[in-house]
Structure 1
Amino acid sequence: MGEPYEVGFRLCRRSSSVPRARALLRAVLVDWGVTEDALYEAELVLAELVTNALRVRVPKDRQVGVRIVRQAEERLLRLEVSDAGAGWPEVQSPEAGETHGRGLLLVEAVAHRWGVERREGGIGKTVWASLKIPNHATEAAGKEIPAVTVRAGQCVRMWGTWLGVRSVSGELYPTGGSAVVLVLDDGPALRVPAAEPLTVRGGAVSG
């Protein structure tokens, strides 16, 4: 079984933590190559779990913990949200006109499985949800290769994001040595030493 990808962070107890959690999740899942549809569902589920955790009555200095785990071979994404509050969340059956109590209904509808566990070594609980992710979302985050072997049509990891390579050309530095010039989908052309390692994905890799 492959090693899981895992990221964790903590959130302050304020309403702005919900969009912050979604933004952090999106950054992580985009980096992992998760599809847009799966990412959207994960954002919905995490937003509901964090919203519920923020509503729990606890001392104000108690933060909300978030853990994101992807087990590639199982094709599952697990989202965990921990709080220090008592009680156990339950799926509600709100009336047609009620605006609250639908969060876990959404989680139950979108998630493959969900549940609640007592926190290990601490007070409170962890609410978790597992979502299925497509096969192609589990491909490797990238492969490190020399810049000289990068080809048009691949994506290169630069400035914290993936950028498509439009064209590749070679040139010599005035002081000697070979350079590679990559024209990207966004931003300035990238000029790097031919032997410099770059992280790429997609397309055919030489060598």
Structure 2
Amino acid sequence: MKSTTPPHSATAQSTALTHEFEMRFTSTPRGARLARRLVSHRLHDWGYPYNTTVNDTVTLIAAELTANAVRHGHVPGRDFHLRLTSDAAALRIEVTDTRTELTPIPTTPAPDAEAGRGLLLVAALATHWGTTPRTGAPGKTVWARLDTIVRP
């Protein structure tokens, strides 16, 4: 587990801290659940309390992206990687898995479908989202960014 909070540096333009949390999780439902919980706890520690819009929104995005990594990006014996960062303007979550052949595309499922709405939720909740190839190894990273209000 890696979690860092760089030292506070006050400038005329920004007094906000930059935060980073990243960790590998087993590519299982239990790993996805743990990742979601740790995202919520980390956000709370960073000043986005539980049961606030920002914490709830980013935690839901984390739940969807990690569930997709387990369901669609799982390769036996391989973990997924989660990275959460915060700056004065936004929160960004990245989930990396080892499957390259499945590129996430939001589609509208049938009204009675029990699955298939996760990326639609991410697209609706995030300010921006997308995918990038994994650096240095097979796989992909699905990321989402949520713009936040700059705190004084």
TM-score scaled by structure 1? Answer: 0.61
Query: CA separation in 1, counterparts of 2:92 and 2:74?
Result: 25
Alignment gaps of 5+ in structure 1 = 140-207
Aligned residues of 1:34 and 1:133 also touching (Cα < 8 A) = no
Identity of aligned residues (%): 34
Distance in 1 of aligned mates of 2:75 and 2:130: 24
More strand by share: 1
Q: Across the two proteins, how many residue pairs are aligned to each other?
A: 135
Structure 2, unmatched stretches of 5+, are 1-13
Shift in Å at residue 55 of structure 1? 1.2
1:45-194 aligned within 5 A: 45-56=61-72, 58-72=74-88, 75-86=89-100, 87-136=102-151
Rounded Cα–Cα distance in structure 1 between residues aligned with 2:60 and 2:22 = 18
What CA RMSD, in Å, does the superposition of the two structures yield over aligned residues? 1.6
Name the SS of the counterpart of 1:135 in structure 2: coil
Partner-residue secondary structure (3-state), 1:88: coil
Cα separation, 1, equivalents of 2:97 and 2:73: 10
Q: Which amino acid aligns with 2:27?
A: R
Q: Greater CA radius of gyration, 1 or 2?
A: 1
AA partner of residue 100 (structure 1): A
User: TM-score w.r.t. structure 2 length?
Assistant: 0.82
Residues 1:21 and 2:35 are matched in the alignment: yes
Structure-1 residue corresponding to 2:11: none
Q: Shift in Å at residue 56 of structure 1?
A: 2.3
